[in-house]
Chains A and B, each alone.
Chain A
């Protein structure tokens, strides 16, 4: 029933199984709120068999690449992504933490050059379970809550 609250889209991307409350953050990280002609839909706190409650984001007229979507793996590791063409799902995948995380995470080290100079932040994933990343610039590692606080 809950699914009916959200209009189906003809072409675009549906990001499903986002942990409840993280939908807005997903939109922010993927820059989906930039005007692009298509509709952007966020369903928040939807009942879900798997997660209890979940968020869903649908964006019309944009086909997000796997690489693009993987950026959200840090905040929404359970998310699944559906590429929709002509009202049908043409591709479906689960998000995965990429080998390198660029642009969305800030370095927690206040003396890191990436927090002072104009750079795109860059982290190398050292381990996925538990998630641990190393700053490309200052080489410090971050894990757990520290990663979430710096998104």
Chain B
């Protein structure tokens, strides 16, 4: 697979081999960065970050990755301050930005926006979240974190907890994990179960257990991936109140867990993980944040064709 010029839009576009390759490059870059402090693979290259909807964490992670590679960054972080507000089409905006940059990272409230941007430009486009559809770099950094921690992904028993209905992070993570030899436990309130068509797809590949019983599932797990139940995703406040706070990961729960169970979370969290877990060996969520930089360095470097 030729990486130079490739777009990173959806986890669906990646084979297991593609994913393994990105993870390997990320690991190499993490090592080089530790050794040298900064790298210059992308010297003279410009990243444009087009955040039509704000997401400070993701944007900073991409910017940091580009700086670590020795490149520079331009961009905007709110559509309100750009000509988009004057009614300019997305296609025209990215075609214009293409003239100033070598790679584009886009975050947009509409599903499919990143795919469209990639189709109208020659330079690589990386999806940093399109509505409720995909956030592939989050998935890759989640996989990277698991791999760095356990040395492997195959053979693990992984629980996905929380809002499995609306959470795009868990959808694409589950799809990517199903490329490996894993066992999946989908743990959620009845109202927030993983959509049927995704569960079907997963079942074609790996053993899947659906449950509402967190305590019952915990002893089985090597990884517990926790997501927030987001109020804004609910069409109806009453429904939200029914499931709000249905699960909390705390020390009492973790007493039932394997000694090396790792707890992950894409952050920000509200109250799904009690702060008392932070100081334990189980907490992996801050390590996850760190993983964002080497993984995004790998994607930027590969699509630019400089590593």
- A residues whose Cβ falls under 8 Å from a Cβ of B: 109, 111-114, 116-119, 135-141
Mask of B120-161 contacts with A, CB within 8 angstroms, 1/0: 000000000011111000000000000000000000000000
Contact for B111 among A109, A118, A141, CB less than 8 A: A109
Given contacts A114-B112, A137-B116, 16 further A-B contacts (CB under 8 A): A111-B111, A112-B112, A113-B90, A114-B116, A117-B89, A117-B90, A118-B91, A135-B112, A136-B115, A137-B111, A138-B133, A139-B10, A139-B12, A139-B112, A139-B133, A139-B134
Count of residues in B whose CB is under 8 Å from the partner chain: 19
What 1/0 flags go to B89-110 for Cβ under 8 Å of A? 1110000000000000000111
- In the bound complex, residues from chain B placing their C-beta under 8 Å from that of A118 are 89, 91
Evaluate contact between B115 and A137: CB separation under 8 angstroms.
yes
Cross-chain contact A113 with B134 (CB below 8 angstroms): no
CB distance from A20 to the nearest CB of B (A): 33
Contact A139 B111 (CB under 8 A): yes
Quick check: is B113 within 8 A (CB to CB) of the other chain? yes
B36 interface residue, CB < 8 Å from A? no
A112 vs B134: C-alpha distance when bound (angstroms): 12
- Contact of A111 with B89 at beta-carbon distance under 8 Å, contacts A135-B112, A139-B10, A141-B197 already known: no
Q: Which residues of B approach A to under 8 Å, CB–CB?
A: 10, 12, 89-91, 108-113, 115-116, 130-134, 197
Q: Is the CB of B89 within 8 A of A138?
A: no
Q: Are A140 and B89 in contact (CB under 8 A)?
A: no
Residue of A nearest to B12 (CB): A139
CA distance A119 to B89 in the complex (A): 11
Known contacts being A112-B112, A113-B113, is A138 close to B197, with CB within 8 Å? Answer: no
Give the docked Cα–Cα distance between A136 and B115 (Å): 8
Complex Cα spacing A112 to B12, Å:
17
Q: How far is the CA of A113 from the CA of B127 in the complex (A)?
A: 14
What residues on B are CB-neighbors of A140 within 8 Å?
A: 111
Interface pairs (19), CB distance under 8 Å? A111-B109, A111-B111, A111-B131, A111-B132, A113-B108, A113-B111, A113-B113, A113-B116, A114-B112, A114-B116, A116-B110, A117-B91, A117-B116, A135-B112, A137-B112, A138-B133, A139-B12, A139-B112, A139-B134
